[in-house]
Chain A
């Protein structure tokens, strides 16, 4: 049972826009920023978004993040086949004094 809640799966067709949600509580997302990770099959996670909506260098602007209250979202526009991956959200939790992750969302490009 993950502290942050994500839908287990999502899907879209090429060119479409998809969003993945991440729900938490006041002690994590409600107080701290959210980061997102993309994990292609068999590889280490890749840093995708930090500070809710900032992209590290090299991450395409098709990926965007947002946060409102105790929830956050990752949006992927212009969906491509290579976006098929698992996506994870993460946030610092003030009660646990540590990082918490979502359970991950498997994105399928139809």
Chain B
């Protein structure tokens, strides 16, 4: 059973960059899946942010694309998200997940981490 655990600051100031890392256990990042980020604002629905392959190939949500940077570190079996110029609208629970492109956005999920954007 793959395990995913995100890490990063729970509080980010407006206009700064949100940075999260997802560490994957019991499964190799190189094993043919994509790896993605999904967020959920408080009391609202799920929003896909983007997905990345171990080669570095990415897909991004068009509404966020200009602010999103994703990377992967196969030596550490982890992948990362950076979201720039954050506002209060970016306050959400952020999940990392394993993904099969065009088949499903996530099968195994992390527990989620709340990131609040506030001064």
Contacts and interface: CB of A to CB of B under 8 A. Distances in A.
Interface of A: 2, 32-33, 35, 37, 44-47, 50-51, 56, 88, 90, 92, 96-104
24 contacts: A2-B45, A32-B102, A33-B103, A35-B103, A37-B106, A44-B95, A44-B112, A47-B107, A47-B108, A47-B109, A50-B103, A51-B103, A88-B45, A90-B48, A92-B101, A96-B62, A97-B62, A98-B51, A98-B59, A98-B61, A99-B36, A100-B48, A102-B45, A104-B45
B112 A90 contact: no
Interface residues of B, number: 24
A32 B59 CA distance: 16
Contact of A47 (B45, B101, B106): B106
B62 to A, nearest CB: 6
B64 to A, nearest CB: 10
Nearest to A96: B62
Contacts, number: 65
B104 to A, nearest CB: 4
A89 B39 CA distance: 15
A10 B103 CA distance: 26
Nearest to B4: A44
Interface in B28-81: 36, 45-48, 50-51, 59-62
B109 A88 contact: no
Given A50-B107, A97-B59, A92 B102 contact: yes
A48 B111 CA distance: 17
Contacts of A100: 48
